[in-house]
Amino acid sequence: MERKPLHGWHWPDGDPAIALHATTAAGGLTIRHPGPDLHRIPGLVARLRKGARALGEIETRELTTLLGEICRRFLRRLDGGAVERAAANAGISPAMMREILEGMSATWNGPALRRLVEAEFPETAVLDRFVQVDGRMVRAAGPGCTVIVGAGTVPGVTITSMIRALLVRSAVLSKPGIGDVALTVRFARAAAAASDRLRGAVAVQYWPGGGKGWGEWEGTLFQAADQVVVHGGDATIEAVRARTPASTRLVEHSGRVGVAVIDPARAPRAAAEVARAATLFEQRGCVSTQLVLLLAGTGTPRPSQAIASAWCEELARRLAELESSGPASAPDPGHLSRIHQMRGAARLRRAAIAPKAHPRPQLWCGPDGRWTVILDRSERFEPCGGRTIWVAPVRDHAACLEALKPVGPMLQTVGLAGLDPEETGFTEALAEVGATRIVPIASVPFPESDWLQDGSRPLGELVRWCEVRRPPEAAEPSR
Amino acid sequence: MRTPCPQARADPETRVAVSTGSRPQILDRIGALLRMDDGTGGGEALRCDRVFNRWALRVHAFQRATNPALGRFWSAESSDWRRIPPLPVRAFRDMPLASGPAEAVFRTSGTTGGRTRRGEHHLPSLDLYRAAARDNYRRHLLVPTDPGPNRASRNRHTLIALVARPRAAPDSSLSAMVGFIAEEPEIAARHWAFDRERGIDLQAVRRAAAQSRDPVLLIATAFALVQLLDALEGLPLILPAGSRIMETGGFKGRVAEVDRTELYRRVDSFLGVPCSHIVNEYGMTEMLSQAYDAVAGEGLPPDRRLHRFPPWVRTRALDSAGLSLLPPGEPGLLAHFDLANAASVCHILTEDLGFTTADGCVRLLGRASGADLRGCSLTAESFLRRVAPSRASSHSPPPPPNPS
């Protein structure tokens, strides 16, 4: 059955009379959205700036409550049909979409948003007015108009980014990733419907990033905006960087790799938790676990291999269970191709080692590329996605840190199981290698509202500070 | 056409010259088989399924026996080449896959695999590469245009190569092949107008074109061709009548930001070479045989073209989920069984999407890159690029150089 096209935009003051429409295919869905009409950009940005001024009249405490309430209503009104539509748009199962929304709801609420603001601004009033801090007056303000370029197919990422911009009183124009259009447009509508003071400050428009005819649109829009926040892979970041003038502030969140460090002897449930961390978001999230470093013990290689092999067996069993309870979305041919390449290469590496030699790579596979566990050395690791988990046995903490070094600059979340985070300076060493978030493995999929994404302050990176100092004579009378 | 097997046609095995020496006999026999594909028999007999299968199983058995890793990877003998699992091309990154000491090593560009995890094709016999390539490029590129009374004298060409010289790029399979072409008797003059460091030498291209009294055979990666056109800055450089172009790489219908139809239109406008004289070659470092989508002078518009391999290659489109065989017309991942790869890996699974036709041609649809499912997790390409910045070269398109 042919599905109705997705409505890929929401502009302030209702839908304008848009003459030029474009249609973009996204998997089985089509997205209708305005075409690259450059003449509309100045008016749109001007309306958003005006909306930011109205937004600025809301005090922080009231704003966190208001945004929390909008989130609550937005989630409550997502009925079965809406969830199915959002899931189809993201290319995941409705069951997984529900789990993701439930996880997101822990950060999309008033108290969580207040925690976020308070974590970043101990004097939250600095977002409302000048406040006396350490002998000077300071004020933090978001820019008038922020353009958010969302990541491809991770549902909810664009909404989180929008909420952050609104919290610092910046109006937002969001370009959701192709798989996140349905949710983002619904959220923008919910925000506009909930409050007159928010209505003018929220816009969404999908466009095919870097698509033919859109380069000039992007360049003109980024020039007109005050700030661009981009989430995505290297190609996206580089393209946005090339089109953003020096006068527009650019905040980048590039792709990252998630790692787990597991001591199987002290964490009997870790396999199930790793399976969940890898399965949620279908490994498309920057927090998703891709590589597991397994503390398989010292001694002769054979017991280590046996421990690692048994653990992978358990991980494979858990992935198979998750596959039956929440089936993986049908991966596209590109992902399947990569999975077949990874699997075949692993099989050959195993074949290249004499049968009685250790360690030998091992492979556990679900049907039709639905999930894969590869047990092999960490040097060969590369992220694959599509529920593919690479497990590398390591002797001890030192070997684990050594294995992480090449991954360090791209490292995001490190999930721990069976390890005490305070233990023997291990977390210090992980931070030195490049980790920006170290959490129990069960907490990997859903960061707290105040997490330091990519090692930055999520609100702090959006604001501009202003300070007022008294004249020296007023501060300290000269003698 | 692949079937039926004509009874009158002899199995070429009975007619190949068997050489003896330090090299395994089968490689000489395959080489002889490929060299005889001149339209008079020989390799043509491989269009018969039965004959192809017999040779395929021999090559498979040879590789199992001489390469322990492949021997274990293909743990069982087979009676049908279609049942032999294809080896993914990524495996070429992990270990040398050769049945004997290598005479040459070709490396992939690393455009998708990162620069330190480049695929390596170890070739125990460079002769096999020449044998696989020669007849094919001669039939598609070195044909006389405008045949007439002076046909013999008109089949002379000036070669302008926008790829690195073989000496400067010993690990590039494309450079090696262009080196073979440069030695052909039809090539009256040869000009190498590309350097890995400096890119295209526009002055050398202009000089060569101006001096040439023969049609030009311009060989370029699609990226280099775009660079050349850009470097012309709107000033046409019309090549002599009868000139033709072999372009390779970027076969997905798009070359960088340029649509292939648009590219061919620009070539026509600025180089004076019509679409009919532009030939796309599909080749890869991991495979010694090539496919062409036209004979120079007879090319259809790009969107109506199909690629054809020589008869010692069989291509199948496989379902991307379970790798089961797809019927003609249904797109899937392409797997090639190439007898010319007798000394390395005969059956490979590519990362290319396409479909086959009933008469054994291939329509290439692009690279199965997974680009539609991007998120904020790091892609393998980005990961490998960041982990391993270093050198480049290949039969795949190299990174676009700066035009000089």
Q: What is the CATH number of the domain that holds A438?
A: 3.40.309.10
**Closest by CA position to A382, among listed B247, B93, B354, B24:** B93
What's the domain range around A115?
6-255+456-467
Within this chain, do residues A240 and A321 fall inside the same structural domain, yes or no? no
Which residues in A lie closer than 8 A to residue B117 (C-beta atoms)?
Answer: 382
Tokens at residue B402, please? 């700066």
Inter-residue contact A305 to B48 (CB < 8 Å): no
pLDDT tens for chain A, 479 residues long, are 456 888 899 998 766 566 667 777 666 678 889 888 898 899 999 999 999 999 999 999 999 999 999 999 999 999 989 999 999 888 888 888 999 999 999 999 999 999 999 999 989 999 999 999 888 999 999 999 999 998 777 889 899 999 999 999 999 999 998 889 999 999 999 999 999 899 999 999 999 887 778 999 999 999 999 999 999 888 889 999 999 999 999 999 988 899 999 999 899 899 999 999 999 888 888 889 999 999 987 545 556 888 899 999 999 999 999 988 777 777 788 889 999 999 999 999 999 988 777 778 999 999 888 899 999 999 999 898 889 999 999 988 899 999 999 999 899 999 999 988 777 689 999 999 999 999 999 999 999 999 999 999 999 999 999 999 988 765 555 45
- A270, A250: one domain: no
Q: Are A55 and A182 members of one domain?
A: yes
CB A193 within 8 A of CB A187: no
Q: Peptide bond before A359: cis, by omega within 30 degrees of 0? A: yes
Which 3-state string (H, E, C) describes chain A?
CCCCCEECEECCCCCCCCCCEEEEEECCEEEEEECCCCCHHHHHHHHHHHHHHHHCCCCHHHHHHHHHHHHHHHHHCCCHHHHHHHHHHHCCCHHHHHHHHHHHHCCCCHHHHHHHHHHHCCCHHHHCCCEEECCEEEEEECCCEEEEECCCCCCCHHHHHHHHHHHCCCEEEEECCCCCHHHHHHHHHHHHHHCHHHHCCEEEECCCCCCCCCHHHHHHHHHHCCEEEEEECHHHHHHHHHHCCCCCEEEEEECEEEEEEECHHHCCCHHHHHHHHHHHHHHCCCCCEEEEEEECCCCCHHHHHHHHHHHHHHHHHHHHHHHHHCCCCCCCHHHHHHHHHHHHHHHHHHHCCCCCCCCCCEEEECHHHCCEEEECCHHHCCCCCCCEEEEEEECCHHHHHHHHHHHHHHEEEEEEECCCCCHHHHHHHHHHHCCCEEEEHHHCCCCCCCCCHHHCCCCHHHCEEEEECCCHHHHCCCC
- Count of C-beta atoms within a 10 Å radius of residue A357: 9
Q: In chain A, whose CA is at the least distance from the CA of B69?
A: A352
Distance CA A438, CA A426 (A): 11
Closest-CA residue to B270 (of B302, B298, B230, B242): B230
B322 touches chain A (CB under 8 A): yes
B252 CB burial (10 A radius; 0-12, 13-18, 19+) = middle
Cβ <8 Å between A152 and B88:
no
Bridge-based pairing state of the strands B157-162 and B216-221: parallel
Q: Same domain for A281 and A417? A: yes
| A17 and A156 in a common domain | yes
d(CA B306, CA B302): 9
Determine, yes or no, domain membership for A397.
Answer: yes
Query: How far, in Å, CA of A33 to CA of A287, rounded?
Result: 30
Cβ within 8 Å, pair A256-B377? yes
In a domain, A89, yes or no: yes
Can you list the pairs that A4-7 forms with residues at least 24 positions away whose Cβ atoms lie under 8 Å? A5/A29, A5/A30, A5/A31, A5/A32, A6/A30, A6/A31, A6/A32, A6/A85, A6/A89, A6/A181, A6/A182, A6/A185, A7/A32, A7/A185
Please state, in angstroms and as integers, the Cα–Cα distance from residue B89 to each residue in A169, B112, B119, B345, B384, following that order.
Answer: 52, 12, 8, 10, 16
Residue A278 lies in a domain: yes
B87, two tokens: 């080896």
State the nearest Cα–Cα gap between A438 and chain B, in angstroms: 17
CB pair distance less than 8 Å for A344 and B383: no
- The answer to whether the CB atoms of B385 and A234 lie below 8 A apart is yes
Tokens linked to B141: 């590129």
A220 in Cβ contact with A199 (< 8 Å) = no
CB contact under 8 A, B376 and A253: yes
Cα B69 to Cα A351, A353, A363, B85, B91: the distances in Å are: 5, 7, 16, 14, 11
A313 and A415, same domain (yes or no): yes
Q: Does residue A15 sit in the same domain as residue A150?
A: yes
Q: How far is B71 from chain A (nearest CA, A)?
A: 8
Distance CA B347, CA A122 (A): 64
Q: Is B369 on the interface with A (CB under 8 A)?
A: yes
Pick the residue from chain B with its C-alpha nearest to A342.
Answer: B90
Contact residues, B window 126-145, toward A, CB-based 8 Å cutoff? none
Are A438 and A431 in contact, with CB atoms under 8 Å apart? yes
**Contact across the interface for A344 and B90, Cβ inside 8 Å:** yes
Among chain B residues, the shortest Cα distance to A380 is held by B94
Could you tell me whether strands B199-200 and B187-192 are parallel, antiparallel, or unpaired per DSSP bridges? Answer: unpaired
Count of structural domains within chain A: 2
Q: Would residue A474 count as lying in a domain? A: no
Instruction: For residues A279 and A418, state if they share a domain.
Output: yes
Rounded distance between C-alpha atoms, residue A431 and residue A411, angstroms: 10
Nearest alpha-carbon partner for A254 in A227, A228, A233 = A233
Asked if residue A476 is part of any domain, the answer here is no
Tell me if chain A has a CB within 8 Å of the CB of B389: no
The answer to whether B372 faces chain A, any CB pair under 8 Å, is yes
Chain B residue at shortest CA distance from A413: B377
d(CA B220, CA B228): 9
Strand partners, A34: A21
Cα dihedral A365/A369/A375/A377 (nearest 10): 160
Residue pair A157/A231 in contact by the 8 Å Cβ criterion: yes
Are B334 and B315 in contact, with CB atoms under 8 Å apart? yes
Strand partners, A466: A139
Cα gap A101→A83, rounded to integer Å = 9
Residue A473 included in any domain: no
Contact A453, A447 (CB under 8 A): yes
Which CATH number is A120's domain given? 3.40.605.10
CA atoms within 13 A on the CB side of A309: 11
Give pLDDT, residue B35.
83
> What whole-number distance in Å separates Cα of residue B314 and Cα of residue B319?
16
B76 close to A (CB below 8 A): no
Count the Cβ atoms, other than its own, within 10 Å of residue B237. Answer: 16
**β partners of residue A359:** none
* Cα–Cα separations (whole angstroms), residue A363 to A308, A372, A376, B112, B145: 12, 7, 9, 24, 55
Nearest residue on chain A to B389, alpha-carbon basis: A406
- What pLDDT is attached to residue B308? 96
**ipTM score assigned to the predicted complex:** 0.85
Ordered per-residue pLDDT tens for chain B, 404 residues: 454 554 444 455 544 433 445 678 888 888 888 887 555 455 778 889 999 999 999 999 999 999 999 999 998 888 999 999 999 999 999 999 999 889 999 998 765 544 457 899 999 889 999 999 999 999 999 998 665 555 444 689 999 999 999 999 999 999 999 999 999 999 999 999 998 888 899 999 999 999 998 999 999 998 899 989 999 988 999 999 999 999 997 544 445 556 889 999 999 999 999 999 999 999 999 999 999 999 999 999 998 999 999 999 999 999 999 999 999 999 999 999 999 999 999 999 999 999 999 999 999 988 876 544 456 666 666 776 666 543 233 344 433 333 32
Asked if B91 and A234 come within 8 Å (Cβ–Cβ), the reply is no
Give yes or no for a contact between A176 and A204, defined as CB atoms under 8 angstroms apart.
yes
Is A258 in contact with A248 (CB distance < 8 Å)? Answer: no
Same domain, A354 and A225: no
Question: Which chain B residue has its CA at the smallest distance from A367's CA?
Answer: B322
- Please tell me which residue of chain B has the smallest CA distance to A383: B380
Is there a domain that residue A202 lies in? yes
Residue A189 sits at the vertex; the CA angle it makes with A185 and A194, to the nearest 5 degrees, is 150
Task: Please indicate, yes or no, whether residues A248 and A386 belong to a single structural domain of this protein.
Answer: no
Report yes or no: B179 and B208 within 8 Å, Cβ to Cβ. Answer: no
For position B396, what pLDDT does the model report? Answer: 44
- Pick the residue of B377, B383, B386 with the most A CBs within 10 A to test the interface with A by mutation: B377
Tokens of A435: 């980790």
Are both A42 and A163 inside the same structural domain? Answer: yes
Maximal C-alpha separation, chain B? 65
Residues of chain A in contact with residue B370, where contact means CB-CB under 8 angstroms, are 331-332, 334-335, 337-338, 385
Q: Does B254 touch chain A (CB under 8 A)?
A: no
Distance separating alpha carbons of residues A173 and B214, to the nearest angstrom: 59
Chain A nearest C-alpha distance from B77 (Å): 16
The shortest CB-CB distance from B376 to any of A178, A231, A335 is to A231
What phi and psi, each to the nearest 5 degrees, are found at residue B179?
Answer: -60, -40
Our separate counts of H helices and E strands in chain B read: 10, 17
Q: B94, A345: Cβ pair inside 8 Å?
A: yes
In a domain? residue A475: no
For A337, which of B320, B383, B385 is closest by C-beta distance? B320
Rounded CA gap, A75 and A102, in Å? Answer: 9
Q: Are residues A239 and A185 in the same domain?
A: yes
Per-residue pLDDT, A47: 94
